[in-house]
Structure 1
């Protein structure tokens, strides 16, 4: 059961020692499914529209006193984008100024490997969500620091893929050969 009411207000909001509001966001991602139901190596990320206009970004919001950064990333992903998944290791920390209010912020970003996309979520009437490839997301995302986080995520995932290929270069071929022995 998922709570369909987003948290509101700033009474639990965290600020750093310089008075900057602390926010946490996520980059929800998945690997595209193929027509036969298998998973490809094509990476897709989920972007959402802002509440006030149709600018696109990744889910983010205030980090509250009663939660860890990882919990905040998961909560914001659920509230704003309607997705659940595995919060992975932090991508980094950015200091930025809000264009709208000229306010200073400290932002943290996390990858979120999406395991479930909900039909109903707290802000579904306030936002649009769209899966797209990395290049499209980089083009439409309005925040420079989120684009930097996306680049770090892509680099990290590519490094992991390369390491897995080096550790298990012939895994599929070896497995196929063993299976064919039993079939014939």
Structure 2
């Protein structure tokens, strides 16, 4: 018996490595990432967007603490492709990437260099059982409030605020249309 597997559901279980394709702008390494999110299914009927949404955080490879998936933007990919790839490699989720949340310049905690970071929201459609960094990272769905507490990077927290404000504004528009 032969089983046919769709290529779009196959994930290479190896992360891209190396920095030879990394993008730089004025000496700053460019990194991209996503804030994976989903709407909770609950019976509370809360209209507060923060009660309706959960975000996915992952453990840091280099230390303690949690963060959102992010990594290097490479020369052979768009920002969105890089954000999607990094999120799949580090968090094992796929979904719909929405409009960019912003750009942040920040200093590395371990190197004396500056980075340019770009973040996107990713509405999760699929959560994989196996992904490239599964053995290196933990992933955890948390409330927005919990993400504010546990996320170790100030710029990612700012991106989270942009996302929450955007979702709240969209919710208000949807309610007005009804």
Question: In structure 2, what is the equivalent of residue 20 of structure 1?
Answer: 28
* TM-score, structure 1 normalization: 0.86
Matches within 5 A, 1:1-184: 1-16=10-25, 18-34=26-42, 42-168=52-178
Partner SS, residue 146 of structure 1: helix
Give 5+ residue unaligned stretches, structure 1: 169-184
CA distance in 2, matches of 1:61, 1:148: 17
Partner SS, residue 95 of structure 1: strand
Larger RCO: 1 or 2 (CA < 8 Å, sep 6+): 2
Partner SS, residue 165 of structure 1: helix
Choose 1 or 2 for highest CA Rg.
1
Query: What RMSD in Å do the two structures reach over aligned CA positions?
Result: 1.2
Give 5+ residue unaligned stretches, structure 2: 1-9, 44-48
Q: Which runs of 4+ in 1 moved over 3 A?
A: none
* TM-score, structure 2 normalization: 0.89
